[in-house]
Structure 1
Amino acid sequence: MVSATRWLCALALVLIHLPGYSQQTVQGVVTSEAGDEGLPGVAIVVQGTSNGTISDIDGNFKLSVPNADDAILEFSFIGYKKEVVSVNGRSVINVEMSEDVQALDEVVVIGYGEQKKKEVTGAVARIETEELIKNATVDIGTALQGQIAGVSVQAVSGEPGAGSNIQIRGLSSVNGSSNPLYVVDGVPFNGDPKLSMNEIESIDVLKDAASASIYGTRGSGGVILITTKKGKAGSMKIGLDSYVGVQRITSGEHLMNREQSLYSNFIHQYHLNPNQHFQNTWSSLETNPTSFTNDTDIRGIIQNDNAIIQNHALTVSGGRDGLTYNVVGSFHENQGTIINSGYERYNVRANTVFKKDKWTVNTGMGARVEKQQYAPWQFLLDAIKYKPLQQPLHPDASIVQDAGNGVQAAALGGLMAKLKQDDRRHGNHFNGMIQISNQITKNLSLSSRFGTTFTDDTRVRINPLFIAYDDDGNRIAFDGNARSGVYNQSSRASSLAWENMINYKKSFGEHNFKLLGVFSMENYTFTSFFAEKKDLISNDVTTLQGVTADPNVGTGNNWNQDRSNSLIGMLARLQYDFRGKYLFSASVRRDGSSRFAKENRWGVFPSVSAGWNVSDEAFWAPVAGTLSTLKLRASLGTTGNQNFLDYSNAATIAIGRDYPFGPEDNVMLGLGATQLDYANPEVKWETSQQLNVGFDMGLLSDRLTVTGDFYNTNKIDMLFPYVVPPTAGTTSSVILNIGDMTNKGVELAANWRQAGELSWSLGGTFSKNINEVTKMQEGSEIMYLDNSTVVQGVPNEDLVTAIALGYPAGSFFLIETDGIVDGEEELEAYKKIQPTAKMGDLKYVDQNGDSTITLDDRVYMGSGIPDFEVGLNFSMDWKGFDFSMNWYAAVGGEVMNGSKAYAYKFGRHMDQYYQWSPWNPNSDIPAHRGRDHYNARGYTDYWLEDGTFVRLRNIAFGYTLPKAITQPAGISKLRVYLSAQNPITLTKYTGYDPEVGNNGLSSRGLDRGNYPISAIYRAGIQLDF
């Protein structure tokens, strides 16, 4: 027994030490085939294990390898082909890696699956997570701007949390939404999902209708497919991505100072009354002597220079035994460059993948908490209106004395209310997904996916109580927005999506088939409630119950709502290729939407596409060394649009419309109701048919890749509001399918990638879209859009943006000006059409020759759509140093400078210091005759400017420390960097920013004192453990 025990112990000791006896240190150098330079950052792993290392800055590596005789090493590096080398007992192994820039072999997400780019027949583009994180962008729109041809991204505003407006291949609807559909891990979202960039693995964009038609009614604006990060098998990895920065406004309107304003006011008084201008000028100053010493520029008070912006993200990932996980948590804060504004966002996402035998279970859960403070409406315009002769203000003041005369007091009241306003939103968002898949056979699989989203928002705006006195000591009674009160709005939205998919693939010799079938059901609900009351008792009580006067519960589509809609879809798709050379794809989707009446509830959306990998042909061999790859493709597809108001096919009834009845001496009110608008059960889908022809080309072993697409889109049965004649008993409109529109365009993208010790890439994109309205209601060939006045909140203004037959949707129709009146003969001639004209006035052009200037004299003057857009992207890496920059240009397109018009109305713009007067008769600046004079009307082309701009969107410089320094501390990667966003903008536009007014068709290209875009400067660190 003792002997046996001794033998067992001896055997155990031998077995324990056997692995140690077979351990061997392998070292060597990894170099590039293109040269002798060492490659840093190459991953070297013992095949089948997690044992590995990374080459240092000179390409050297050292690794302990067990079982060296049988071990196999894998060498992998971005941009190079993977190398697999058998150790065979060697202690020194030098490896030469060859470039792998076969862009067509990349895998892209195409919706309900993935496909090699070489086999894609539609217009699909991808951007990887590394590009997103390197530029330290916060929202998806900013990350995409200038990166993908055909994807137009314009900032809604520079306000924190505002996001971007994204259009793919132009405007897709004039009455509904033109936004793309967002799909996150297969689950559709209503609007931007506002993910942290650290959550995202890749973004794929389906641009052509054949690719987007698999989403049927929701694909008319294109589709953005977002794949979030998943874990990888191996030990737990921890990543930290953090930056802190400052931001500031770098542009603005040019306003007069105290001395210039005094002189301009003297000229203004002359224009109003030439005989009393000295007296009128002096009397206004005499009542308020401090005007001589004040030199107030309120913009210095409301602008928050060097506002803090910061973002911090922590990632934990790993997995084993068939279960992988990835958890990301992030915090973002933007303090805002205008006071009383800011944004905070907390994101967390947890993804898991579990595989067991033929089963795969994917889960994803995300949550977002937002805290947003909104800048007051037209805050910058109120600052422009406030004259330098008026007293300085402070947001904390509760009593203001010597507020000036009536006009000045009104300006002070409105501005003071906004300085003290507190307008905040708190939002909670949750989304979840679970997908269960079963690989029934080698060729057949079934999947079922359930997704849900839930959003809860509450917004409270408080206008505090404050007191102001005019020059005579009388208390000023404020009304409108300057009046104290409480506004409260809450909303709740939820969505459910259930999809079931069956996939079948089969090869017959060199013929390859893939079949997909999908059945989906979606439901969306939304409720909101709004109420407000006026006159606070005290600033310490800021609830609705503590406010005393004028209770109001909002009504209409923009306020209190309770609506829902459902969508059922069925999809079949066939994909075929022969030898990977000849490609074909066809799909048909049938959708049913509750937004339509039963007669038109269902729509069918087919598509077909084909491709030819010409470079795979034998006859291509003689030119393959230069033109290495070439693929030709074409597609034809149909999509639908149902993104308009729910219940538009039904009539609405308003109650509480009581009517009098009974004899004259005893009139009583009876309960009444009125039909507000008419039902239209015939309303049907907006339909988009698009033809796309494109190519993918690679030169010089695909170091240079070029992609081009040409498309023609016909949008038919577009929904327009039809104005009902008053004889019908209502003044509203009814939605009808009475419009058509076209989008034609060209997209080009090119990229050069050079690998080696100094690796770099240079890429560019070009996009041009031509939009035209081709059909409208007969007799109504032009329709002006609500909310399209250049200057808001003042009288005598009118609409400038219209949908007109034969023109781009959302074009500017303005009264043309022809200089100013600067001679007596010219004045007498002009008085025939403008009897009140005086010297120095703007001359309006009488377009219809009726000797009268009216709104009928408005003519087409351009639009806010750029003629074309260009993106330029450059990046390089050298021995741990990296540098990147992204330029974006929008060429052409007009901007209406409403901020300048507003400044002119109140005599504040610097140009007016040089206005026409008897002492300056050669000036081309119109005389300032007051706010309501036609010289300052906003609907003329005097305010129209070229909106062309070139912007350095992002620039970053970083350094990654060598592994020899970081690995002993347990750090696999440590990168520090400096970056800037929007540091340079080149433009002739004289307002705040040419990238304005893009949150809707009616406001595109209108600068109305929008929150300007800021320049941001950051310093950051990225750590991987």
Structure 2
Amino acid sequence: MKLNFNQSVKVSLITFLCMISFLTMHSQNTKPITGTVKDSDQIPVPGVNVFVKGTSTGTVTDFDGNYQLDVSNNQKLTFSNLGYKTQTIAVGSKTTINVTLETDTSVLDEVVVVGYGQQKKKEITGAVAQVDNEELSKSATADVASALQGQIAGVNVQASSGEPGAEANIQIRGLTSVFGNNRPLYVVDGIPFEGDPKLSVSEVETIDVLKDAASAAIYGTRGAAGVILITTKKAKKGLMQVNVEGYSGIQSITSGTPLLNREEYLYTKFLTGAALQDTYYGNTWTEVEQNPNAITRDTDLMEVVLNDFALTQNYSVRVAGGKEDLAYNVSANYYDQEGSIINSSFDRLNVRSNTQYTKGKLKIDTGISFRVEHQEFAPWGLLSDAISYNPLRPEVDPDAELVADAGDGNAAAQMSTLGYKLIQQDNLENNYFDGYISATYSLAKNLNLTTRYSGSFNNGTRITINPQFLAYDLDGNEVSNQRSKIKNLSTLTKKNTWENILNYKKTFGNHSINLTGVYSLEKYSYSEFFGEKYDILNNDITVLNGATSDPNAGSGTNQWTQDRESTLIGMLARAQYNYKGKYILSASVRRDGSSRFQQEHWGVFPSFSAGWVVSDENFWEPIKKTFTSFKIRASQGTTGNQGIPDYSYTANIVLDRDYVFGLDGDQNLALGAIQEDFANKNVKWETSVSTNFGVDMGFFRNKLTLSADVYNTDKKDMLFPVLLPPTAGAGQGGDVILNVGDMTNQGLELALGYKSAGKFSWDANITYSRNINEITKMSGTNKLLYFNDSTVSGHTNDSDKVSALAEGYEAGAFFLWQTDGIISNDDELAAYQEIVPTAKIGDLRYIDALTIDTNGDGIPDVGDGEINLEDRQYAGSGTPEFEMGFNFNAFYANFDFSMQWYASYGSEIINGNKALAYKSNTHRDLVYQWSPQNETSHIPVFRNAVHDNLRGATDLWLQDGSFVRLRNIALGYTIPKETTQKMGISKFRIYLSAQNPLTITDYDGYDPEVGNNGLSTRGIDKGTYPVTRLTMLGVQFDF
């Protein structure tokens, strides 16, 4: 059942009332203090925090640098702002206090989360980047990871699809594994999560990304794919603050596959008939002659399948405050998104409470959150159905449970299948609970012990209902080809983590040390159970007992969904040292033990990094005003990957497999079991060794900053599934997992930023990322392995695979038959028929690749005289050569403006939707196919769906996937305080925003962002749920 929003609001309000305590206030004699804050160039500084020292009373300067605050004579005011040194001034008898802020040349001292602690940015020696809530909140998304796209150099974020609730694919510095886990580790408030924690953006304070192995090695086996550290908004002492914000918007799909209308379709049939010598696939009748009613139709199924004005809405409430030893932060968020394809949607309610209690040497932190999600899935392949549906077929009612005129033959069968899909109900509801308690005790001066326990619980229920659907052909015969069915799937996930952290910090003279020791224990379990029955008696009764036939029940059906349990034990020692804050060293070693391996349970993962703040040297002083800061960083670290299926070291026995005994193969049918996946007791860690060199520079008092990193990552002992022959007793497709592959990632990252303060203030940031991936070793003699799911289009018998692992190429590389235009005359035909004797004029001409070496120089110089698998050539991949991001923010008076751009260059896309439309004879291009009257056409003759003209693995469908996209643009206005304060509101902002309003690309499909599963189907656009455009209006209140 879909979550009732009114009930959710009631639950949230009750939660707030239980958690929030009201504070008492004491008053004293005060007087108004006014003043102006300027920088050393006498330019007013807006946004300066002006607070009464030791209290939560304060304000910020306006756009002219002015402020006003009521204080008493015996108090002091503190003035602070990023990039400037904090000043504290006693009030005394003054009524006007003007301040000139001194530029803080150590802007690098801002705090960054690095895992098991924090460091000043100046002391960071690894590749670590941070994004705050202000930037994240500009993206309207249910998946907080999607908001990172273009924000951080080296972090590739690509939408898996535009489906509501879909998670983005994230790769940090390239691909991590071809068979194991590729997802980065998420750590929320110090707690490791299995997969995306699915937080709302409003819950997040900052996101820190550990990109290099030296930084990520502290998480050992789980850090191979990088680490994303999320800090949620924490409790803050002071007056209670209430923040309310929300937006509502409309989504739309902006492009698509051009399809034929009735007249165009009939014309292509005429061209096909001419090409087939005036026959219709060997018959003398035409489609219209068989069904005269078809001529009256002009059906566009896209109008039924697409939802042009899908609504998205998001609402958040946050209350924070505290007094003396106790502080709290409570927030709630509701997100709801309708799908741009019918029968799809997603909504979620998040509630989180963070508290902090301090008493003497003891500090206790707690965090509790619960989340309820409901997701409705569109039927599989619905977009493909709409693409392949020709305009002469009947109109479709998406709610109909009976169709009396479904057509004839194949048309009737397709209509039956389509109607069955359209009334399908497929709903998933997840209930999550996460909580932690952390106690820190000061054992001695500079020595702290922290113990932290966390637990998470997730229960999911997916109910899929395929109601009764009846369809009849022109003669009144029932052609319904699908049985009604109901299936219930329940999953239960549990995880418990216990960590103990001992930390010692000491500064003596010019020396500082920071020693950390960690012992952690994690236990994870997953179980699932399903039940299903067929033949529903009544569509109004949608429970298992409402169906009557073929009951079935069971547990997981493969290695990834089977019931499983795993344990991970980790021990970490880390030492950090710096001298005068300019010579910095860091070293760590982590030892992890995992139950996923039978013999080599334990792995050791060391790291080392060093940094030199050159700009702190005396010889740098003459240029420091211009070249303000300069730091050099270098690091090397080792990480491991244990992200493989549990029990990979054991054999997998599959039941319900039959075999025919007897010499002639037709004597006795026996039911039995086979060993499909063979055991490998020696399976071990995948290991990554990464080296990083970087520099951080600041110019003109750090108004202009530049960071650059180059890196090299060698991945050894990668896990590959090695196919076994049927003679091994494994059946068709049996395999064994072996550590037999190697891979490298090399890259360059740049981040450039500029800030300009003043009455008109603005800032801009540019990121650039380039990663070169290469498979350097594969097992045995098989140096090319195609992915099974990398076919170009469904709904046909075309089984061509296009994406592969190949030694010497990037993972997921395309290998395609190259083409050389259309055979347009007799001379060209005669020459080509020597290679393909069955070819005809109007056919696609394939290139016989150079595969034979005739002179012994090791370089192939001629073809083999036929078109075969050897002729498939490398044709790029769905991975871009480089990516860029550009963020711009501007502020003037009470107006604010922002925009975020993202660019991806060098990827290729195989347009599977176009291939399907060609095969289905529904693409508008086919009007311009080759014919005697159109001899210059580059479009082959449509002969039939499985003709070699329309093979899937050809470059006919290959297109440039490069694009530039305006991800977000927003214009906001903040109502003056003089107006809002009369209403008891400290801030009221209204804004208009658009997401993905503009995309510049040569790709002619739905959307060039085709992530899919991130590897085997990346760049293959076959029925992918397209990314949408969103226009929205939002408001923000602070009380």
Quick check: TM above 0.5? yes
Distance 2:978 2:43 in 1: 21
CA contact (8 A) 1:383 1:415 kept: no
Task: Look up the match of 1:111.
Answer: 115
Q: Note if 1:463 corresponds to 2:466.
A: yes
Q: Note if 1:159 corresponds to 2:170.
A: no
Task: Look up the match of 1:611.
Answer: 611
Distance 1:864 1:801 in 2: 9
Task: Look up the match of 1:909.
Answer: 923
> Of 373, 377, 401, which aligns to 2:380?
377
Task: Look up the match of 2:11.
Answer: none
CA-based RMSD: 2.2
CA contact (8 A) 1:266 1:281 kept: no
Cα distance change on mapping 1:878 and 1:671 into 2, 3 Å: closer
Q: Note if 1:1007 corresponds to 2:1021.
A: yes
For residues 559-610 of structure 1, what are the alpha-carbon distances to aligned partners after superposition, in whole Å with 9 as ceiling and x for unaligned?
Answer: 862101110000000001111110100000000000001x211000000000
Distance 2:334 2:867 in 1: 56
Alignment of 1:195-210 (within 5 A): 195-210=199-214
Cα distance change on mapping 1:699 and 1:252 into 2, 3 Å: same
> Of 31, 54, 57, which aligns to 1:51?
57
CA contact (8 A) 1:74 1:83 kept: yes
Question: In structure 1, the residue corresponding to 2:606 is in which secondary structure?
Answer: strand
CA contact (8 A) 1:440 1:446 kept: yes
Question: In structure 1, the residue corresponding to 2:811 is in which secondary structure?
Answer: coil
> Of 794, 797, 803, which aligns to 1:795?
797
Question: In structure 2, the residue corresponding to 1:1001 is in which secondary structure?
Answer: coil
For residues 24-48 of structure 1, what are the alpha-carbon distances to aligned partners after superposition, in whole Å with 9 as ceiling and x for unaligned?
Answer: 33223334444454x5554432222
CA contact (8 A) 1:864 1:1005 kept: yes
Q: Note if 1:242 corresponds to 2:242.
A: no
> Of 399, 408, 413, which aligns to 2:411?
408
For residues 868-894 of structure 1, what are the alpha-carbon distances to aligned partners after superposition, in whole Å with 9 as ceiling and x for unaligned?
Answer: 000011001111211110000010110
Letter aligned with residue 116 of structure 1:
K
CA contact (8 A) 1:606 1:638 kept: yes
CA contact (8 A) 1:504 1:516 kept: yes
Question: In structure 1, the residue corresponding to 2:609 is in which secondary structure?
Answer: strand
Question: In structure 2, the residue corresponding to 1:992 is in which secondary structure?
Answer: coil
Question: In structure 2, the residue corresponding to 1:211 is in which secondary structure?
Answer: helix
CA contact (8 A) 1:219 1:640 kept: yes
Q: Note if 1:270 corresponds to 2:274.
A: yes
CA contact (8 A) 1:56 1:963 kept: no
Alignment of 1:86-485 (within 5 A): 86-100=90-104, 102-272=106-276, 274-276=277-279, 283-479=286-482, 483-485=483-485
Question: In structure 2, the residue corresponding to 1:600 is in which secondary structure?
Answer: coil
Q: Note if 1:778 corresponds to 2:780.
A: yes
Cα distance change on mapping 1:340 and 1:663 into 2, 3 Å: closer
CA contact (8 A) 2:32 2:95 kept: yes
> Of 6, 29, 32, which aligns to 1:25?
32
Cα distance change on mapping 1:663 and 1:577 into 2, 3 Å: closer
Cα distance change on mapping 1:56 and 1:626 into 2, 3 Å: closer
Shift of 1:140: 1.9
Cα distance change on mapping 1:946 and 1:23 into 2, 3 Å: closer
Cα distance change on mapping 1:409 and 1:313 into 2, 3 Å: same
Cα distance change on mapping 1:269 and 1:451 into 2, 3 Å: same
Q: Note if 1:515 corresponds to 2:529.
A: no
Letter aligned with residue 487 of structure 2:
Y
Deviates more, 1:609-618 or 1:463-472: 463-472
Task: Look up the match of 2:764.
Answer: 762
Letter aligned with residue 1008 of structure 2:
P
CA contact (8 A) 1:146 1:870 kept: yes
Letter aligned with residue 511 of structure 1:
H
Shift of 1:353: 0.6
Q: Note if 1:859 corresponds to 2:859.
A: no
Question: In structure 1, the residue corresponding to 2:266 is in which secondary structure?
Answer: helix
Cα distance change on mapping 1:850 and 1:962 into 2, 3 Å: same
Letter aligned with residue 490 of structure 1:
S
CA contact (8 A) 1:135 1:956 kept: no
Task: Look up the match of 1:13.
Answer: none
For residues 917-963 of structure 1, what are the alpha-carbon distances to aligned partners after superposition, in whole Å with 9 as ceiling and x for unaligned?
Answer: 22322211101111111111211111111100110011111111221
TM-score, normalization: structure 1? 0.94
Letter aligned with residue 443 of structure 1:
N
Shift of 1:176: 0.7
Question: In structure 1, the residue corresponding to 2:870 is in which secondary structure?
Answer: helix
Distance 1:841 1:117 in 2: 63
CA contact (8 A) 2:559 2:645 kept: no
Letter aligned with residue 677 of structure 2:
D
Letter aligned with residue 687 of structure 1:
T
Cα distance change on mapping 1:512 and 1:916 into 2, 3 Å: same
Task: Look up the match of 1:10.
Answer: none
Alignment of 1:846-925 (within 5 A): 846-847=848-849, 848=851, 849-925=863-939
Distance 1:754 1:56 in 2: 16
CA contact (8 A) 1:708 1:749 kept: yes
Distance 1:607 1:426 in 2: 42
CA contact (8 A) 1:997 1:1010 kept: no
Letter aligned with residue 842 of structure 2:
G
Task: Look up the match of 2:565.
Answer: 564
Distance 1:671 1:940 in 2: 41
Question: In structure 2, the residue corresponding to 1:884 is in which secondary structure?
Answer: strand
Question: In structure 2, the residue corresponding to 1:413 is in which secondary structure?
Answer: helix
Letter aligned with residue 378 of structure 2:
A
Distance 1:521 1:902 in 2: 50
> Of 803, 807, 810, which aligns to 2:809?
807
Alignment of 1:447-596 (within 5 A): 447-479=450-482, 483-553=483-553, 556-557=557-558, 561-596=562-597
* Runs of 5+ consecutive residues of structure 2 not aligned to the other structure: 1-25, 852-862
Shift of 1:629: 0.4
Distance 1:398 1:376 in 2: 16
Deviates more, 1:1010-1019 or 1:670-679: 670-679
> Of 958, 967, 972, which aligns to 1:958?
972
TM-score, normalization: structure 2? 0.93
Distance 2:371 2:649 in 1: 35
CA contact (8 A) 2:46 2:758 kept: no
CA contact (8 A) 1:335 1:342 kept: yes
Shift of 1:177: 1.3
Distance 1:637 1:982 in 2: 38
Deviates more, 1:350-359 or 1:132-141: 132-141
CA contact (8 A) 2:676 2:735 kept: no
* Runs of 5+ consecutive residues of structure 1 not aligned to the other structure: 1-17
Distance 2:282 2:646 in 1: 61
Distance 2:614 2:46 in 1: 36
Cα distance change on mapping 1:79 and 1:524 into 2, 3 Å: same
Deviates more, 1:286-295 or 1:812-821: 286-295
Question: In structure 2, the residue corresponding to 1:440 is in which secondary structure?
Answer: strand
Distance 1:1010 1:19 in 2: 62
Shift of 1:56: 4.5
For residues 497-553 of structure 1, what are the alpha-carbon distances to aligned partners after superposition, in whole Å with 9 as ceiling and x for unaligned?
Answer: 111010012233212111110000101111112343333222112223222344444
Deviates more, 1:930-939 or 1:410-419: 410-419
Letter aligned with residue 175 of structure 1:
F
CA contact (8 A) 1:266 1:278 kept: no
Distance 2:622 2:287 in 1: 87
Shift of 1:830: 1.7
For residues 343-366 of structure 1, what are the alpha-carbon distances to aligned partners after superposition, in whole Å with 9 as ceiling and x for unaligned?
Answer: 000001000011100000010011
Deviates more, 1:136-145 or 1:746-755: 136-145
CA contact (8 A) 2:674 2:729 kept: no
For residues 718-761 of structure 1, what are the alpha-carbon distances to aligned partners after superposition, in whole Å with 9 as ceiling and x for unaligned?
Answer: 01112223332224111111100000000000000111111110
